[in-house]
Structure formats: C-alpha cells, structure tokens
Amino acid sequence: MTDSAPLQLPEDDRWILMIETSQRQGSVALGTVGGDLIEELPFSPGLVHGKELLPRIDELVSKHGTRSQLGMVAVSRGPGSFTGIRIGVAAAKAIGWGLGIPTIGLSSLECMIHGLGPDSSGRWAAILDASGGDRDLGIYQVDDQSIEIIEDERAVRVEDLPTLIEAGTGVVGSGCRDVDWSKEVFVAPIDKDQPPASSGLVLARRKLELLRSGSASEESWNNPHQLQPRYLRVSRAEEVRRKKLAEQGRQ
C-alpha cells in the first residue's frame, strides 16, 4: 500500500476492528462496514492495555471468523494516556500493514462524546486530566448523535476551565471531576468518562462515508505507517528530558 494508491473501499460485509486504549478502561469491538455490531470486549479493570490488547483481538476475531474478513482497522489515537495511545496505534498499524487493509485514526474526545448515548443533544465539553494541572479540552455540539466540532482540541490549565465552559454546557471526562462548576454546567455520570470501542465503530463508519463522498481524506488509509498518535502536549518524561538538556546547556 502506498500514499498515492486510490482508495480501496471495503464492501459492506467486511469487518471493522476498533481499538480503544486511550483511557483507563480499554476495549475492542468488531462490526461490519454496513453497520452491524458483532461484539465488543472490554479489558479487565485498570491499565492492562499492553497485556490484554492482542489477546482480546485474537479472542474477538477467532470467535466470529478469521482475520481475512477484516476490511479496515480503526483506533482511538488521542488525546489521552500516552502509553495507552501508543499501544493502540502500534497494534492498528501492525494489523493494517500485515493484512494490507486500511487504517484510520479517530479522536478520543469525539469517541467519548459519542459514548454519552442517544439522549445527549446539546453542547458538550470533553475534558481529560493530563496531571500537573493540565487538561485536554474539546468542545462539541451534539444533535441526533451527529458531532460538530465547536472548538478544536487543545491543552488548557485547570484553573481556566470555568471561564472556558459556558452555561448550559455538559462536561465529561476525567478532567472535569475536580472542578467547582456552576449550577448551569451539567456533569455527566463518571462511567461516561470511558469511551466504548463500539462508539469508535460508529465514528469509523461516518468517516468512511466522508471518504466515499470525497469530502474527507485519511493519510493512513493506504499506508498504515502514516497513522500517528495525537498528543496535545509532550509527556512528563519528555519534559524531564528537555529540562535536563536545558540545565546541561547552562553549565
């Protein structure tokens, strides 16, 4: 597969494998391009993505058929857990390349917003706790489960959140739990902080329709190696490394 190759769109009976490892609770889901959900498998509680991802994929696929039935791979590529995102993206790239099938990356925040369910119309902010007072923020308008980006994903400070979220907005995600919100802000139940892989299946199909119509593009479609994690800031390890280098440069 190469970047310049034409889009090879999978048939409706082919499978989509969706990988969700961006948050604390991981899961994988299998569905058809035509819209059927075959099955979703959650991981064990906790940060076990590296241990359980590939066995769960093997379990899911072998239960219903073989990998030859896969038509594409989708993955929640961030923002979120640095380690979890790397694990999920690496697996998606390996499977896509090994089977010669397309790969697509999805916004973890949009997957979380979709996971709110069918009765979630209105304006929503997805907020992730990036530790150290940092938050990852995206703001969306939801209508009949269509998701419109109101403000692009960005990194903000936790103390700025009350001024960034207008009255009447709902909030969801690990980064909204320790904020003193006004009564005009609705806080979603905590179980909605973990986006299900089945939500990624729905968003993957929507993206596929945009690709079919020519109104969207995807660099990794013909070349899985183009699939990259989506980070809004450098990792803590990278911050420490840069600090050490700066200190060495001053000596």
Q: What is the pLDDT of residues 143-200, one digit of tens each?
A: 977 999 999 999 999 999 999 999 999 999 999 999 999 999 999 999 999 999 999 9
131: pLDDT strictly greater than 50: yes
* pTM for the whole structure: 0.90
Element (H, E) at 75: strand 70-76
Q: Which CATH number fits domain 15-110+195-242: 3.30.420.40, 3.40.50.450, 3.40.50.10680, 1.10.3720.10?
A: 3.30.420.40
What pLDDT does residue 6 have? 63
Q: What pLDDT is recorded for position 194? A: 95
Q: Tell me the average pLDDT across 219-230.
A: 92
Question: Is the model's pLDDT at 235 over the cut of 70?
Answer: no
pLDDT band at 251 (very low <50, low <70, confident <90, very high): low
Three-state secondary structure readout of 133-156 = CEEEEEEEEEECCEEEEEEEEEEE
Question: What pLDDT is recorded for position 34?
Answer: 96
Cβ-count burial 23-53 (b if 16+ within 10 Å, e if not): bbbbbbbbbbbeeeebebbbbeeebebeebb
pLDDT at 89: 98
- The pLDDT of 92-101, averaged and rounded, is 96
Least confident of 124-128, 144-148, 168-172, 232-236: 232-236
Does residue 241 have a pLDDT over 90?
no
Q: β-strand 103-106 against 37-42: which pairing, if any? A: unpaired
Domain locations along the chain: 15-110+195-242, 117-190
The Cα 192–Cα 67 span in angstroms is 31
Q: What is the CATH number of domain 117-190?
A: 3.30.420.40
pLDDT for the residue numbered 238? 45
Q: Is the pLDDT of residue 236 over 80?
A: no
Phi then psi for 229, rounded to 5 degrees? -60, 155
Q: What is the mean pLDDT of residues 236-247?
A: 49
pLDDT band at 242 (very low <50, low <70, confident <90, very high): very low
- Assign residue 250 a region (left: φ > 0; alpha: ψ between -120 and 50; beta: otherwise): alpha
Instruction: Convert the pLDDT of each residue in 8-18 to its tens digit.
Output: 889 999 999 99
Residues 6+ apart with CB under 8 A from 92: 19, 73, 74, 75, 103, 105, 224, 227
The larger pLDDT score, comparing residue 40 to residue 215, is at: 40
What is the rounded CA–CA span in Å between residue 111 and residue 124? 12
Q: Do domains 15-110+195-242 and 117-190 have the same CATH topology?
A: yes
- Give the mean model confidence (pLDDT) for residues 198-223: 92
CB-based contact 195:20 (threshold 8 Å): yes
Task: Give the distance, in angstroms, between the CA of residue 120 and the centroid of all CA atoms in the same chain.
Answer: 19
Q: Given this model, what pLDDT does residue 8 score?
A: 80
Examine the pLDDT at 2 and tell me if it is beyond 60. no
pLDDT at 65: 97
Q: What token pair was written down for 197?
A: 């892989």
**Burial annotation 4-14 (CB, 10 A radius, 16+ → b, else e):** eeeeeebeeeb
CB 192 within 8 A of CB 112: yes
Q: What is the pLDDT of residue 244?
A: 56
87 pLDDT band (50/70/90 cuts)?
Answer: very high
C-alpha pair distances (Å), 18 with each of 55, 73, 108, 128, 138 = 14, 6, 12, 21, 22
